[in-house]
Structure 1
Amino acid sequence: MADVGETLNFQGEMEEETYFPDTDLDLSFTSTTTDRTFPSSSARSSLARSSLTLSFNESRLSCSTITANNITPLHHRKWDPRWSAIKAATNLSSDGNLHLRHLKLIRHLGTGNLGRVFLCHLRDCDNATFALKVIDRETLSSKKLSHVQMEAEILSMLDHPFLPTLYSRIEASHYTCLLIDFCPNGDLHSLLRKQPGNRFPLATVRFFAAEVLVALEYLHALGIIYRDLKPENILLREDGHIMLSDFDLCFKADVVPTCKFLRCKSRNSKRNCFNGGCFAPVAGSVEEVLPEFVAEPVTAFSRSCVGTHEYLAPELVSGSGHGNGVDWWAFGVFVYELLYGTTPFKGGSKENTLRNIASSRKMRFPDAAEVEEAGIAEAKDLIEKLLVKDPRRRLGCTKGAQDIKQH
């Protein structure tokens, strides 16, 4: 039987082939057509297969090589019907765990940096669909193995509507399988490329930027530096909201939350004045005391250079060491790309792009071909403050998402 590197031929029709080698799991499937439209869930991919019949064969694995780590539902997702379906499946299992035999693979979704992703559902519940990320540890370097461990660890921590849920982690021989959310609407990069001029209207940019900001705020509150923000890693859920993906390049740091109470004047506020026995609103400025919660890993530090070249911060390119500021730089690049259809420092090659990022050259906006819509000036100002090359002066590096929210 062919080895892993020869199992899937995406260029033409396939006869019976397998993803896993003989000695381990047998995922046999047949495909006669290529479907380029089916969206990937966690991998940046390309070609998905249709008309597949897949099956697991766990009989080839000894009990000692199969382990399943069921995840306890966290607060915000515990009412998700998929958890109920998993509980029903595990109640019938002899050891109370979810195993590969409980899953039916539907099709291959794509290939990512660490492994392949399949669409699957529970055998006794067609409506409980998931993405199964399958990682062959034998094919990975020790560095990438550490990335696998980091992603699994971070996924197990997350409990947020704009971040994926890890439903189960299954170790089968030298394979690590992560059962996570499936996002049926593809990724934001694909959607962006379908827009006129490869750009979104400002209102759409605000929507996606706000949701990404909230997701980054949550990650930073956990001490997680994302380091891989880009439209390709932003998946679109069935309801149109976003879900960040791919956490293998993250690193963790300490974070000390603080809460301060600030006095501020509310804009266009009205106060009620008692007048003649009834309350009447009176326009004016009212001073309010509002809480300001900040949980930003300001002491985070790493020297490893990871990420996508167009989104790398100057301190990443120089190798001088970096911290939380790389995510806020990437957020600025992200907003710029949604507005203008390209990234601000893109050159004719990767080397030129990195040179532009590291140089003292200021970021420039494209010349406006027509009258700019209302709000563009404020968006440009935000981008300029996020793309300050000195992280000590970059917006977000001190108070995180609060800086952006108060802009």
Structure 2
Amino acid sequence: MCIDALNGYQFADYTLQSIIGRGGMGVVYLALDNRTQQQIAIKALDPLMHETREGSRQALARFKREARIISQLQHPHIIQLTSYIEDSGFAFIVMPYIRGGNLHTLMQRQETGTLTLTQAVYYLQQMASALDYAHSHKVIHRDLKPTNFLLDSDGRLLLADFGIARFIANPDEDDTWTQNEIITHTESILGTAEYIAPETFHRLSRDIDKRADIYSLGIVLYQMITGSLPFRSSNIFTLAEMHKSMQLPSVRSLDPSLPSGIDAILRKATAKDREQRYISALKLAETFQHIVQNTVNTPTEAIDRTRGHPLSYIYPSYTSSAASSNQPHYVLPTIDQVAQPLQHVPLMAPSTESAVPTHAAKKPTKKKQAALNIPIIFFLALLAIFMAFVSFHPPTLLKANTQYVKNPSQQTVNMQLNLTDAGKQAQQMVQAFYANINARNFQGAYALLSTQYQQGQSYEKFVQGYEYTIHDTVTVQTPSPNSDGTLVTLMLTIQATEDRGGITRQSTYTALCIAGKVGNLWKIQSQSQRKVK
């Protein structure tokens, strides 16, 4: 019997109904609890799907470890284990069925693809609470990403998928992931490459500690407030190099309205040297909250986008003293308390009545409000002067071949890369790319994409992406090269003139572009953009 064909299969008190998810460790079924008639989620593993007996043994050992880890973590923001069952050669982890999607789908539902700052504070505190609780129980997750934070119907986030998590206290127990070799091969990398810490690419599995989770949480926060990942590539080794040597791109380059202190917070969370990162996830959340608290004037206007009205429910806030308790309890503050600094609060049993916050957020007085607005007005004035300067001094694009070529070939655009500075060379290549786009020379533009980029996007699909483009005016902000000058991060602002059904429209996009040097030529390794106006 195949693991993918278990619809209708019954075991114990459960009936499998349909597949609702897949992962590296098996598939997840929507199932029915025959006793309660409630829907549940069941993660299924077929150990025999591996070609060797040793591979099957390792897979089952990891699956059992996942169940054991979840069973020992009793926290309101961590998925709970209902039971672990082995039946007819299969292994099953039974869990509650979480209906609200996940953090990734929540961001996708937003018009901008991002969360508001208040929402980010709210959800980051929940994530940090779960993560610090796991760390206090000597567990590191090793695969933090938006899809692994499930969203319950009441708006709570739940940390899930502990498939590659392990106990820090005993890293060798059941740790069959490359115990005695450096993690350098694609099949040996632990976690999702866009989110994992630099040390994960070159350290032994047993040497990875909770600071790798702090790094991943920083990447998740970056994505929450910008809608994009800081490092992207279809090549795993390019991604590894980006994580190890490239500075995190500024979030204010993507959205100048974000508070100035956020870049420093994110860069500390994702420091290349793990000794320089935050000592805990809650410390990261506290610092981020402090910056937002001093910027957002109406912190209680958080919106639960899954229901479209102001948040009115309560959520648990973890306190470190609960880590040593056999039966931890949690105080239930309201969303108003997000405006208050994180603090240790007295433990109390949850009440069935509505919780009333003991420290309501105070609204600033009119005088304080005016004082807060002065630096904002000053900043906006400077920004207006800068934008006026840019509008009268647009970047000069390189001249390009204006011939439209229908099919691509191996020829490349003629470019004189006689500059010695890597940043300037990469910037010149990006300007040539958009010059070719404006000249309708799509072959020339396509030739400036790396081989890996082209493998992920056919020429026909590439041309379709510029179907409505009349002209792109591109402003390249200060390029940021890596240590050896082979990769450069460029933040772009694109003023696009587009033909939409005979109507000419102006749109503004911000883009994160990664350029890499291939031999003597510069190529675009990856580029992600979002519409801002």
- Sort the TM-score into its range (normalised by shorter chain): 0.5 to 0.7
User: Is 2:237 aligned against 1:351?
Assistant: yes
Distance 1:406 1:340, change over 3 A: closer
Aligned residue for 1:364? 249
- Of the candidates 110, 119, 133, which is equivalent to residue 43 of structure 2? 133
Aligned residue for 1:40? none
Larger helix percent = 2
Higher RCO (Cα < 8 Å, 6 or more apart) = 1
Deviation of 1:368 after TM superposition, in Å, equals: 4.2
What SS class does the counterpart of residue 275 from structure 2 fall into?
coil
What SS class does the counterpart of residue 260 from structure 2 fall into?
helix
| Residue correspondence of structure 1 range 138-153 to structure 2 within 5 A | 138-140=48-50, 141=55, 142-153=57-68
Aligned residue for 2:350? none
Asked if structure 1 preserves the Cα contact closer than 8 Å seen for 2:269 and 2:284, the reply is no
Q: Structure 2 CA distance, aligned partners of 1:309 and 1:371?
A: 28
Moved over 6 A (4+): none
Q: Structure 1 CA distance, aligned partners of 2:252 and 2:285?
A: 25
Distance 1:238 1:176, change over 3 A: same
> Match for 1:364: what amino acid?
P
Aligned residue for 1:395? 278
What SS class does the counterpart of residue 151 from structure 1 fall into?
helix
Deviation of 1:370 after TM superposition, in Å, equals: 6.1
| Residue correspondence of structure 1 range 330-349 to structure 2 within 5 A | 330-347=216-233, 349=235
- Aligned identity (percent) is 24
TM-score (norm 2): 0.47
Deviation of 1:371 after TM superposition, in Å, equals: 5.0
What SS class does the counterpart of residue 117 from structure 1 fall into?
strand
| Structure 1 unmatched runs, 5+ | 9-17, 20-26, 28-53, 57-99, 256-300
User: Is 2:95 aligned against 1:212?
Assistant: no
- Of the candidates 8, 11, 15, which is equivalent to residue 104 of structure 1? 15
Distance 1:368 1:315, change over 3 A: closer
Distance 1:395 1:113, change over 3 A: same
Structural RMSD (CA): 2.5
User: Is 2:116 aligned against 1:116?
Assistant: no
User: Is 2:212 aligned against 1:326?
Assistant: yes
| Residue correspondence of structure 1 range 242-281 to structure 2 within 5 A | 242-254=157-169
Deviation of 1:367 after TM superposition, in Å, equals: 5.0
TM-score (norm 1): 0.60
Q: Structure 1 CA distance, aligned partners of 2:287 and 2:105?
A: 31
Asked if structure 1 preserves the Cα contact closer than 8 Å seen for 2:211 and 2:277, the reply is yes
Deviation of 1:132 after TM superposition, in Å, equals: 1.2
> Match for 2:43: what amino acid?
K
What SS class does the counterpart of residue 229 from structure 1 fall into?
coil
Q: Structure 2 CA distance, aligned partners of 1:405 and 1:362?
A: 23
Asked if structure 2 preserves the Cα contact closer than 8 Å seen for 1:164 and 1:244, the reply is yes
Larger strand percent = 1
- Of the candidates 110, 121, 138, which is equivalent to residue 195 of structure 1? 110
Q: Structure 2 CA distance, aligned partners of 1:214 and 1:130?
A: 25
What SS class does the counterpart of residue 112 from structure 2 fall into?
helix
What SS class does the counterpart of residue 364 from structure 1 fall into?
coil
Aligned residue for 2:448? none
User: Is 2:200 aligned against 1:316?
Assistant: yes
Aligned residue for 2:2? 4
| Residue correspondence of structure 1 range 29-108 to structure 2 within 5 A | 54-56=8-10, 100-108=11-19
What does the per-residue CA deviation read over 1:315-355, in whole Å, with 9 as the maximum and x for residues that have no partner? Answer: 11223642221001001111001111122222363332211
Distance 1:136 1:383, change over 3 A: same
Q: Structure 2 CA distance, aligned partners of 1:406 and 1:366?
A: 16
Asked if structure 2 preserves the Cα contact closer than 8 Å seen for 1:347 and 1:356, the reply is no
Q: Structure 2 CA distance, aligned partners of 1:187 and 1:354?
A: 26
What SS class does the counterpart of residue 309 from structure 1 fall into?
coil
Distance 1:159 1:138, change over 3 A: same
Segment of structure 1 superposing worse, 237-246 or 215-224: 237-246
Q: Over alpha carbons, which structure has the higher Rg?
A: 2
| Structure 2 unmatched runs, 5+ | 171-178, 184-188, 289-533
How many residues are aligned here? 267
Aligned residue for 1:384? 267
Aligned residue for 1:182? 97
Q: Structure 1 CA distance, aligned partners of 2:236 and 2:123?
A: 27
Q: Structure 2 CA distance, aligned partners of 1:55 and 1:323?
A: 40
